[in-house]
Chain A
Amino acid sequence: ESYNANHFFAERHSMVRGPYVEFAEKVAKETGGEVKFTVFSAGSLLPPASSLQGVRDGVAQVTYHAGTYTPSELPIANLVGNMAFYNTDPLVMAFASTEFGLTNPEQQAEWKANGVVFGGGYSTSEYFMQCNTPIRTLEDMKGKRLRMAGGAWSRFAEFVGAVPVSIPSSEMYTGLDAGSLDCAVAAADALDSFSLKDVVTDLNTLAIGNYYAGFEWGYNVPFWQSISAENRRVLFNQMAYYLGQHRIEFDKDVEKAVTSAQNAGMTVTEADATLKNALAEFVVADEAVLIKTAKERGVKDPETILTSFKATIDKWDALLANVDRHDPDALAQLARAEIYDLLDEKTYGVD
């Protein structure tokens, strides 16, 4: 049967190319045509802010969802999604957020309350400052206008004396070109995908977190329960593969974009100690804000949740140190052994 898969990124993006387009082909093949997804990309089915609602209502049977669009519905996912500076290794965060989303009881209850079956997480590559002016020191940041993704990112900008600006990603180009923005803070594939390489002269390699809030695959509950346990296992296996695969592809795209921008004259600089220290200080200071916000949104014991999430992160930090990070099969094997094989396809998301 044919179902709808929704992602609001463009079809050529590494988070759609493999994990949605190829994924749909493989799932169709391995389920013998029993589960066929039609992929709707670039928001052609659901707008970004309505993905969660849309998959709950069955407009789509599987969707990507950027968690920060729904802070009130998903307070726990936002609590952990805003922990973006504890460990800035995107591969670690993709695997850790996946395991956490699949296994933490509070988080599982939150997915259930929102009418969605969590399938797996993701992570963008590191967020870098892509600027039209050199930025190296804490002093350089003062008064600069930074396009930020909101939440912890905006608080970081204010912490270092910069001015956070919230504009849609489609306006980054004009802003940088015309000078109403000094930097866009985003994954560096934006140099290509949003053509920022025409207007960015300086890239600073300080990793200002990475974005992994929400999920790469969230399923409609009636859909999930209607398919056979064998087919659910097919989905598990494919998600395990594309969890690592999208990370490898994303980083490749970033590298390609940065190299071609460098060839066109963009400077890549490192942050100096003052700026690095400021980021470290911010990370410590911001945890209190995260906990306070979560409590205001009705999360009972945010401290315990954070402790548990940190433990998961640390575990993956260690596991991923001993594997070939450029081999999608090795990563898939690890994801199956440590996460997906431990789930029961007969009961997960069904009870």
Chain B
Amino acid sequence: MSMLMIGWIGVGALFALLAFRMSIGIALMLVSFVGISVMLNTTAAFGIVSALPFSFIGDWSLTAIPMFLLMGFVAANTGLTTGAFDLLRLLLSRVPGGLASASVGACGLFAAASGSSIATTAAMARIAVPEMLRAKYHPSLATGVVAASGTLGSLIPPSILMVLYGIFTEQSIGQLFIAGVIPGVISALIYMAMITVRCIRNPSLAPRSVEVFEMDKFLRLLWSVWPFPVLIMGVLGGIFGGFFTPTEAGGVGAFLAILISILRRALTWDAMRAAIRQTVVATSSIFFLSIGAIMFTRFMGLSGVPRSLTDAMLAVSDNKIIIILMVAALFVILGMVIDSIGLMLLTLPILLPVLEAADINLIWFGIITIKLLEIGLVTPPVGLNLYVLHSALSGKVKLGDIISGTTWFIAMDLLTLILLIAFPALSLFLPSFMAN
């Protein structure tokens, strides 16, 4: 049997194991170990086990992952966004669907304080959704907006997904961070525009607010958003001002989040313990999956599957846009059934040679990838954000309502995606300043 054949059988076996609910990490390790044993010999397979995990975990750049996770979970557990949400609500009180648009804005702000979409969704679910339900917003709008806007957590820097993408594709994490800013803002603005138009056309979705704008209330609330400029300046300002590297920014960001929560008198012992536990569990499970992914990368490399796939895809067309559209279709379909990190780490080892052969800018492609993974976070059946929202609301809103509420947002995501693909400058404009 040829090495290539063994490689493709491995890919098939992997999906079969996943269907039986084996954890993605174990499935990847098992397939790689058996595959390399068959292809070369068991000594080499043991050699891969020996060579990879320790040097992978011991990679300095990866320290940013637990740090950005901690930053987000601290912010989520201490209710960092409450003030910002109230302020935006006041500002948008005259706008149809104002509360929903305020939720989008608050998610965008929170995203700058969190590296994770899940932390963003979980935090906003507890603050914004009950407010909207109280104001008699349609449950599917109230939940859909948070499920979708929560995904901004990965597109607006900092972002765990970008850190992982940067490491696996050897791209500058700092450039990826800055490249995500404009696409993140565009996504949020498109959401808001869609909400406004829909609420004008169908006022029953969101009854008009009776809240009146009061200057002193506005000024009082304005003060409550101070943590966001501090965090944004602290993390992005620190990176681009030359005070520290994107890796070090993780530690500083987590520290700032804790400091801010102490100053806001919001840090309780319970909140800290919950944040630490969530960070530890998330880090350990992400790394477990990643160890499997790097073993699988070696197995794929030895088998020659990526090379043969590259040839096949380039035979269809070597046009960049067509290749990106093929990859996008693949991500949207697989994104329905595989979670974001798993999907990215499963496919990058196979796709990277294709992208390099087609000479596709990997920062641009990174932003497109993150956007696609975000869509996967809200597409059923495996859409982590949907479940996070469902459980954060203790089941008060039906899962079906949440899912139907996200459809309009997914449509807007596809629109954003078309813009990102058609105009690479939206992603590459800001990073171009860094290179000169």
Contact = CB atoms under 8 A, between A and B. Distances in A.
A248 interface: no
* Residue in A42, A46, A56 with the greatest tally of chain B CB atoms within 10 Å: A46
B47 A173 contact: no
A57 B172 contact: no
A53 B240 contact: no
Contact of A58 (B47, B59, B435): B47
Interface stretch (A13-21, A163-171, A281-289, A308-316): A163-171
Contacts of A57: 43-44, 46-47, 50-51
A104 interface: no
Interface stretch (A28-36, A82-90, A176-184, A230-238): A176-184
Contacts of B309: none
B174 A44 contact: no
Contacts of B243: 178, 180
Contacts of B297: 44
A50 B50 contact: yes
Contact of A180 (B51, B244, B435): B244
The B contact surface, by secondary structure, is: helix
B241 A178 contact: yes
Given A4-B302, A58-B43, A168-B60, A46 B51 contact: yes
Contacts of A44: 297-298, 301
A161 interface: no
Contacts of B174: 174, 178
B245 interface: yes
A156 interface: no
B392 interface: no
Interface in B413-436: 434-436
Nearest to B298: A45
A289 B41 CA distance: 43
B300 to A, nearest CB: 9
A174 B245 contact: yes
A171 B247 contact: yes
B172 A173 contact: yes
Interface string B364-394: 0000000000000000000000000000000
Contacts, number: 79
Interface in B218-270: 239-247
B56 interface: yes
A168 B298 contact: no
A47 B40 contact: no
A306 interface: no
Interface residues of A, number: 29
A106 B244 CA distance: 44
A314 B407 CA distance: 75
A197 B354 CA distance: 28
A173 B434 CA distance: 10
B216 interface: no
B61 interface: yes
B55 A49 contact: yes
B245 A171 contact: yes
Contacts of A229: none
Interface in A143-160: none
Contacts of A175: 245
A40 interface: yes
A316 to B, nearest CB: 34
B214 interface: no
A59 interface: yes
A198 B50 contact: no
A65 to B, nearest CB: 12
A50 B241 contact: no
* Residue in A50, A171, A173, A174 with the greatest tally of chain B CB atoms within 10 Å: A174
Interface of A: 4, 40, 42, 44-50, 53-54, 56-59, 167-168, 170-171, 173-175, 177-180, 195, 198
Interface of B: 40-41, 43-44, 46-48, 50-52, 55-56, 58-61, 170, 172, 174, 239-247, 297-298, 301-302, 434-436
Given A58-B47, A171-B247, A174-B246, 7 more contacts: A53-B50, A57-B51, A59-B48, A171-B245, A174-B239, A178-B242, A180-B243
15 contacts: A44-B301, A46-B51, A49-B58, A50-B51, A50-B55, A57-B44, A57-B46, A167-B245, A173-B172, A178-B239, A178-B241, A178-B243, A179-B241, A195-B435, A198-B436
Closest 9 CB pairs of A and B: A57-B47, A179-B242, A50-B51, A178-B242, A59-B47, A47-B55, A49-B55, A59-B44, A58-B43
